[in-house]
Structure 1
Amino acid sequence: MATPSEFLPGFPAFTQELAGTLAVHSQYVLHGNVRDLYLVPDTRGRAPGGVRPTPLLEVLWQALHPSGYRCLIVSDQVDGITVYPPGDPAARAAAERLLGRRMIGRKQTLERLRTCMARVAGAAEPPPIDADAVPPAPAPDDSPAGPDGVRAALVIDYAARIPRSQTGLEGVERDFFLFAQKLAVTAETHLGGPPDRPADLFNPVIWLTEGERDLPAWLTVGMERVRSIAVAGPGLSDRMRAARYFAPIITGDRTAPPDTDPDVARFAQRTDDMTLHAMREIARLAADRRMPIGRIEDAIRIYRIGVDQNPWRQETVRRQIMLGESEVPKRIHGQQPAVVKAFDILKRAALGLSGAQASSSANRPRGVLFLAGPTGVGKTELAKQLATMLFGDPDAYLRFDMSEFSASHSADRLTGAPPGYVGYEAGGELTGAIRRKPFSVVLFDEFEKANRQIFDKFLQILDDGRLTDGQGVTTYFTECMLIFTSNLGIFRDDPATGEKVQLVHPGIDHDTLERTVKEAIKDHFTRELGRPELLNRFGDNIVVFDFISEPTALRILDGQLRNVEERLSREHGVHLELGGAARQRLQRWCAAPETLTNGGRGIGNEVESKLINPLARYLFDQDVRWGKVRVEDITAADGLVTLHARHER
């Protein structure tokens, strides 16, 4: 005898699995993508592409009806107990024969739901939940006739919402699920079906829920009569067929485009993380905005992040990038090779060509930069400059110091705590910020200090361009510029002493520095972390910064001295003038090898300790409120820095 699954060519796999096992399973838990549309063959031959996107109840009905099932009895907390197909007199009559007339249309309660389950399965009706309650006698015309000759299925929708609390079951709820578990064991099959294919099948109970563990685990674990079936999201083949079906909504042409249509292929490929329901809404959005199907990527972007205007495509971005090529090197001194490569990657991002060689690149972030090299050489400053340059808004720059995310639980700060944990309602710091500002430059500073669990998050962002937070909300990073910084390759831990040993020093040629740093990064990802796949996602986007050279240090010093002079003049009316000896001493201190090792921050520290601190002491002690202060010399001895200066009124 043919199995029911053989009657369902072209149907979703979960329906074939369900229909093919009705002889051995009395209950099913359908979990996962249960709120979507599903492709079924178009028997009328009028649908584009030969398929029709269909809601779940209709798919279940079409799957069960060939085996003689006469109706679906559907129960949920909103609509109560209803019959599917609606408006079908034969289905209504079958449901009334099973349940009695007065049960249809009633509000769902645990009492009524237990009664429905027992009557559909053909089991003995349970006593009332309230032991002292006396059940009302049924009306003479309202007595159920039992399941003999009536094949039906009970669908319990939104099953995860039956318990009032997500942390535990109340007494009556526990008793209800215990009854369901016992019913799964004691239910019996019933002979029925088409005359040419009679079979002993169950009248099943079908639970619908988003998560496999949304129902009590003991209801399904170890229960052979209860089958858990995952309802998967649409694969590429389904999305291709759906794209052909939905394309006429956009084009206005009722005929389906050919399989080879490149616009249809892009529609399917760019929605690899989305449901068929979302594809339909994207098509409607494109039609409403009169977007041709050739602009399907814009419709997808608007649907995902809710932003119509794309800053990346504005002419101002192109002008700002061209302006930045001349302005940024003035702020980030001595890093010409790194800045040039960073701008190459930025131009690629602005044109939407990041990862263009890959077929699935459209869902990746706009651009990715991995800035490596010594501390204090301009890596963080470059991220700030890029944010201001691209979007004209320093607030578009988000910085996460990954040294603060070294604990095992710190990943929850980025995406939010899972349900039941403290902080669940607050959401994630990263996902929340990107949803508020989807066009952002995001800096992950000192990347290598993050906890290993966070690397899984980064892998998903770099690969799929999205991240799902603790509340189940998906955040898209497709319009972000992601910048990672790292000091890997500059120091290593000595296994004998446990101290840090510097691998490279100021004065080393850039090619040797770049080779050493990249080799250390590769070693860190492959050997220490065991995550070479994450390194592969960065590809050639690793930009190595050089040490600050002596000429560069002097330029940085000049800039910092100007800042000090301007602050004194603006806020205190004091004009600062440095004599030759004082300036030369500052230059020697700031160009010393130990200072260059710490980059611009080291220079700033020297200016603060050797000039600003003694200058503040002089101004305060001498009660200088205006006029000119000329610093002739600066000396340091026994830990004390002395300023040799005179005040001219």
Structure 2
Amino acid sequence: MDNCDASAADNASWLNPDCKDTPMWMRSLYASLPTTGTFVLFGNIHDLHPVVIGDDCRPDTTINSIWEVLKRCGFDGVVVFDPLNGFRVAKTRESLAPDVVLGGLSSRIGGELMETLSLDGRGRAEAQCGQRGVSPFAGLSALAEAVARGASPSLALVVDYTSQMRDGSSAEDEALLQAMLASVEISNCHALYNGAPIRFGHEGFPGMLRHPVFWLVDAVDDLPSWMTNGDGVRQIPIAKPDIDLRLRMAALLLQGHVEGDDIPAVARRFADATEGFSMRGMYESVQLALRMRSVAQDIEDAVRTYRQGLSENPWQSTRLREQLIDGREILERRVLGQSAAVDKVLDILKRSALGLTTAHKKNPSS
């Protein structure tokens, strides 16, 4: 990883501000943790990201990437809530069982409420059969408070798929509104919330940290403006990868599918072809290439297929090949006294029609 190589699992040098190999949003998260109670992550929120695991780097999801940052700061786990699947313990340290996290939160907010939060869509529907107006976000405000005020285990809460539950109407979901308000109130507090501390020391990390709530949304405007601003709130965009990150991800994705010595050259072609792609799109392109003749030879075709689906190659037209048979006669009638140039053009056209060069391939970005 060049100047930000991670030599051990607990080494956080890859999160330093000047480590360009790490996505900006992850570096911003790491830098903002001491001062932030609410993170609003928006944009490319369900993409893959290059994450350092020990001495290796691998593509991983946004939630797992958040955990890898928090783990370097001494956190014990990450819990997740979304309106379809309910509550779950997403990640914990190896020494901490998920049941311990669940039991700790249950003792803070009550077993019944914790059970309701943990229901998935089907279980929630069965439990609420015959009731009207019951919000899938019921109890989320209490969960946010329990996470923020809990010293041990030290947790962070991720709330996902809120954008899909807000239609911009004036009839706001009351439980969701309470959860957003609780998140803002906790962020606005300096050291105490309802008489309990909200800043804690973490082993191996200097200073005090809050236990934050992360809101994953498609756009900042999916949340009310009063929630996305303030000293304790941090908006962090997750952008699509630039050329440098695409090149790095390309090299990772090609491992095991392309000969080691060929990876740098193929990775450059792959990165150039995937302008505007998400990293997940790059991953899926490799899956398509695996079904073709060769990943190294066909990566541009796979990118084009992922981008726009199957299409006919005009260079493989039967009529074009018939015309090339009489190509010399046709060209010499139009280009006088340039036999060498005619030969050169015919050679290029024939090689392209036979697939012997890359000239017959469409521009993958078109």
TM-score, normalised via structure 2 length: 0.71
Does structure 1 retain, via aligned residues, the 8 Å contact 2:22–2:50? yes
Q: Given the alignment, which residue of 50, 61, 75 partners 1:39?
A: 50
What residue is the counterpart of 1:80 in the other structure? 86
Q: Within 1, Cα distance between the matches of 2:29 and 2:212? A: 10
Q: Deviations over 1:555-603 (max 9, x none)?
A: xxxxxxxxxxxxxxxxxxxxxxxxxxxxxxxxxxxxxxxxxxxxxxxxx
Letter aligned with residue 94 of structure 1: V
What residue is the counterpart of 1:106 in the other structure? 119
Measured at CA, do residues 284 and 305 of structure 1 come closer, stay the same or move farther in structure 2, by a change above 3 Å? same
Q: Within 1, Cα distance between the matches of 2:139 and 2:178? A: 14
What residue is the counterpart of 2:222 in the other structure? 214
Does structure 1 retain, via aligned residues, the 8 Å contact 2:82–2:159? yes
Say yes or no: does 1:200 pair with 2:208: yes
What residue is the counterpart of 1:547 in the other structure? none
Measured at CA, do residues 237 and 166 of structure 1 come closer, stay the same or move farther in structure 2, by a change above 3 Å? same
Q: Within 2, Cα distance between the matches of 1:38 and 1:322? A: 51
Does structure 1 retain, via aligned residues, the 8 Å contact 2:14–2:52? no
What residue is the counterpart of 1:156 in the other structure? 159
Alignment of 1:227-238 (within 5 A): 227-238=234-245
Does structure 2 retain, via aligned residues, the 8 Å contact 1:250–1:284? no
Q: Given the alignment, which residue of 227, 231, 238 partners 1:224?
A: 231
Q: Within 1, Cα distance between the matches of 2:164 and 2:42? A: 14
Does structure 2 retain, via aligned residues, the 8 Å contact 1:83–1:91? no
Q: Within 1, Cα distance between the matches of 2:325 and 2:171? A: 62
Does structure 1 retain, via aligned residues, the 8 Å contact 2:144–2:182? no
Q: Within 1, Cα distance between the matches of 2:14 and 2:48? A: 21
Say yes or no: does 1:18 pair with 2:23: no
**How many residue pairs are counted as aligned between the two chains?**
298
Measured at CA, do residues 292 and 52 of structure 1 come closer, stay the same or move farther in structure 2, by a change above 3 Å? closer
Q: Given the alignment, which residue of 60, 78, 101 partners 1:54?
A: 60
Q: Deviations over 1:590-619 (max 9, x none)?
A: xxxxxxxxxxxxxxxxxxxxxxxxxxxxxx
Letter aligned with residue 103 of structure 2: E
Say yes or no: does 1:284 pair with 2:287: yes
| Higher RCO (CA < 8 A, seq sep 6+) | 2
What residue is the counterpart of 2:128 in the other structure? none
What residue is the counterpart of 2:130 in the other structure? none
Letter aligned with residue 277 of structure 1: R
What residue is the counterpart of 1:115 in the other structure? 142
Q: Given the alignment, which residue of 305, 309, 320 partners 1:306?
A: 309
TM-score, normalised via structure 1 length: 0.41
Q: CA RMSD in A?
A: 3.4
SS in 2 for 1:294: helix
What residue is the counterpart of 1:68 in the other structure? 74
Q: Within 2, Cα distance between the matches of 1:74 and 1:285? A: 32
Q: Within 2, Cα distance between the matches of 1:239 and 1:43? A: 21
Q: What fraction of aligned residue pairs are identical, expressed as a percent?
A: 25
Q: Which runs of 5+ in 2 are unaligned?
A: 1-10, 121-134, 331-344, 354-361
Letter aligned with residue 220 of structure 2: E
How far off is 1:209 after superposition? 1.1
Deviates more, 1:198-207 or 1:184-193: 184-193
Does structure 1 retain, via aligned residues, the 8 Å contact 2:89–2:102? yes
How far off is 1:320 after superposition? 6.9
What residue is the counterpart of 1:97 in the other structure? 104
Letter aligned with residue 197 of structure 1: F
Q: Given the alignment, which residue of 6, 9, 15 partners 1:8?
A: 15
Letter aligned with residue 214 of structure 2: I
Alignment of 1:102-501 (within 5 A): 102=111, 103=114, 105-107=118-120, 109-122=136-149, 147-163=150-166, 165-170=167-172, 172=174, 173-186=176-189, 187=193, 189-194=198-203, 196-221=204-229, 223-251=230-258, 253=259, 255=260, 257-259=262-264, 261=265, 263-307=266-310, 309-317=312-320, 362-363=363-364, 478=366
Letter aligned with residue 78 of structure 1: L
